[in-house]
Amino acid sequence: MTSKGTIDLVHLYPREMSIYGDLGNTRCLAQRIRRHGYDVRVHDHDPGATLPETPHLFMGGGGQDSGQSRVEDDLAVIADRLRDLVADGTPMIMICGMYQLFGNAFITVEGQELPGLGILDVTTRGNPTRMIGGIVLDTGLGEVVGFENHSGATVLGGGQSAFGTVRAGHGNNGTDRTEGAVTGHVIGSYLHGPILPANPRLADHLIARAAELATGRPFEPGDLDDAVADQARSRQVRRLLAA
């Protein structure tokens, strides 16, 4: 079969920022892109590397506070480019530690301030108690499940939309039932798991936009069988809502 086009997928900082299975998001995106009938080039972006000329999709994962410190300098170098790509509507999914760095700032539990990109209007402070466990959300893309483990409590700015509403779990801060943040085609979320294989509709939402950017045409989805992911998600929802 001839390819419908080629999508350039960038994984930001796979060495420093990829825990609790976040690498699975990149693998899921690449595999689904292929199954939809497109080609994919996966670019691992390590500190000091140059971004590809026309990236169509970005994934960034979680990490320790120390991992976040290690990518700060490079993030400052690519900040303007990332902001331009966001303005052009490039889809990005940023999990946990990278979600925090796409916000205004992350202040660690020791009081060290790590400045963020300010792409999402959120601010995060580390706490002595961690928010850990399974999580279920209601989102604009339906029910989303995952696993969270963060000390950071995130507060949304006045006009900032959340990614979802917490039905079970902690979310942004354990108090206001918001989870994550969305601005345009950029999604920040605390959900590991990894989030995308467990929630294929979310993966395809990102891929659809990337395919449009890559080809200049509407996304032409393939016929994918997501029965196993759907069963796993339903089971986790039942288990967590009953807890």
Q: What positions carry a catalytic annotation?
A: 96, 192
According to the binding rule CB under 6 A, does residue 69 interact with ligand GLN? no
Q: Tokens representing 111? A: 């009081």
Residues from 157 through 216 that contact ligand GLN (CB under 6 A): none
Residue partners of 44: CB distance under 8 A and separation at least 6 = 11, 14
Spatial contact of 9 and 56, defined as CB atoms under 8 Å apart: yes
H and E: helices and strands count for the chain: 6, 12
Give how far Cα 164 sits from Cα of 9, 92, 125, 181, Å: 25, 16, 20, 8
Figure out which of the listed residues 11, 150, 167, 185 binds ligand GLN, where binding follows CB under 6 A: 150
CA separation for the pair 34, 203 (Å, rounded): 13
Q: Which range of residues in 37-45, 81-89, 145-153, 218-226 is near ligand GLN by CB under 6 A? A: 145-153
Residues from 107 through 136 that contact ligand GLN (CB under 6 A): 126
Query: Rounded to the nearest whole angstrom, what is the least distance from the CB of residue 97 to ligand GLN in the complex?
Result: 3
Pick the closer one to ligand GLN by CB: 114 or 207.
Answer: 114
Size of the site for ligand GLN (CB under 6 A): 13
Would you give the DSSP letter of residue 1? -
CA separation for the pair 103, 237 (Å, rounded): 29
Figure out which of the listed residues 69, 149, 160, 215 binds ligand GLN, where binding follows CB under 6 A: 149
- Binding region for ligand GLN (CB under 6 A): 19, 62-65, 68, 96-97, 126, 149-152
